[in-house]
């Protein structure tokens, strides 16, 4: 059983993204781990071999997510040709935020000079925050509460990667089995993404959000946990991930949700023209498409050069994908989101033209 979503009056008018300038290769990360690699006699290249990730990008350690989100949000609003005064909701959906209080969305709202009548808040749900924001914005438009919404976020994995490298090199008691829970942290990167949704009557593009499904499998919520380490400095952010179990249970949850997704939209597998998925690595990508019985050639991937960028990974991948190879009129586009928790959000678009 899944929660079904249905929309008649919602269009996604624009996608936008911002990438950091700094590129960090997987080879560079492994070089910094040489004390660990030498001690445990680990072969160089294993991280890229396991994940398919050659490099990722980082913003500076002092960069505030709100500043980058405002840049990306401004791009999305301009692409959508929507007046800032028409934005009725601003939702910031990334894991990274400026501070615990107030909401990072407040700083973005101020920098974009959006109206005081705009609903402003953060949504946090691991790698699905922006997708959850899209669902909430779509619900508000469908109900007639607002005419347009901006969903935006910025992730910067630098702190997590730096803390993980330091912790792995410092703990001389770790063995090969124990370090496995830290390796997923080394795949994290940075980027920013934004989405503008509008009432169908305002759309010039007609890319309709038809609906989708949501599914929770929270009996697996302990498979990936990130937090500041107790008793350490505030900067010591670490994450423990049972990568094999998370992969297995995440794929199983996705398979369960996908049948409901097809039913909700009255689609068939062979009528889906394009897919965009949350970006984890090559094993996840391969097993997901095998499990869903989809042709991987219809997908667009960014993980080889950007890694896992958390909640912005899927919308950023959509933005880059349609920039490089725009869907054709009438294409059915599936957004397939799976995040730790475990939660699944799958959304379907009819890539049409304005009516």
- Catalytic residue set: 101, 127
DSSP string for residues in 267-335: --GGG--EEEE----HHHHHHHHHHHT--GGGB---HHHH-B-GGGHHHHHHHHHHHHSPPPTTEEEEE
Please name the residues in contact with 144: beta carbons below 8 A apart, sequence gap of 6 or more. none
Q: How many CB atoms lie within 10 A of CB 63?
A: 16
- Kindly give the interhelix angle for 282-292 and 243-265, rounded to the nearest 10 degrees: 40
**What letter would DSSP give residue 172?**
T
Rounded Cα distance between 58 and 332, Å, is 33
Asked whether the beta carbons of 300 and 278 are under 8 A apart, the reply is no
Would strands 10-18 and 3-6 be described as parallel, antiparallel, or unpaired?
A: unpaired
């Amino acid at each position: 059983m899944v929660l079904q979503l249905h929309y008649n009056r919602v269009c996604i008018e624009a996608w936008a993204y911002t990438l950091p300038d700094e590129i960090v290769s997987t080879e560079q990360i492994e070089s910094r781990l040489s004390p660990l690699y030498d001690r445990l006699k680990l072969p160089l290249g294993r991280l890229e071999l396991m994940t398919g990730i050659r490099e990722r990008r980082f913003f500076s350690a002092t960069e505030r997510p709100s500043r980058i989100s405002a840049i990306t949000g401004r791009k999305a609003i301009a692409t959508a040709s929507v007046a800032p005064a028409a934005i009725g909701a601003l939702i910031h959906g990334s894991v990274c935020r400026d501070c615990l209080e107030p909401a990072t969305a407040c700083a973005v709202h101020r920098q974009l000079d959006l109206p005081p009548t705009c609903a402003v808040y953060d949504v946090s749900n691991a790698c699905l925050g922006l997708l959850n924001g899209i669902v909430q914005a779509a619900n508000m438009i469908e109900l007639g509460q607002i005419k347009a919404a901006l969903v935006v976020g910025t992730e910067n994995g630098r702190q997590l990667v730096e803390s993980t490298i330091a912790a792995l090199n410092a703990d001389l008691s770790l063995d090969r089995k124990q370090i496995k829970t830290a390796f997923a942290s080394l795949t994290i990167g940075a980027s920013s993404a934004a989405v503008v949704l509008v009432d169908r009557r305002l759309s010039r593009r007609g890319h309709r959000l038809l609906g989708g499904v949501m599914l929770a499998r929270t009996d697996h919520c302990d498979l990936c946990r990130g937090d500041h380490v107790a008793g350490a400095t505030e900067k010591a952010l670490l994450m423990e991930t049972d990568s094999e179990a998370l992969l297995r249970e995440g794929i199983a949850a996705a398979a369960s949700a996908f049948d409901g997704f097809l039913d909700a939209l009255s689609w068939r597998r062979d009528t889906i023209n394009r897919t965009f998925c949350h970006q984890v690595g090559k094993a996840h990508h391969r097993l997901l498409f095998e499990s869903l019985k989809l042709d991987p050639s219809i997908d667009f991937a960014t993980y080889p050069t950007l890694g896992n960028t958390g909640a912005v990974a899927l919308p950023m991948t959509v933005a880059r994908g349609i920039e490089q190879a725009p869907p054709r009129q009438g294409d059915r586009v599936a957004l397939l989101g799976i995040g730790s928790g475990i939660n699944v959000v799958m959304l379907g678009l009819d890539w049409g033209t304005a009516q």
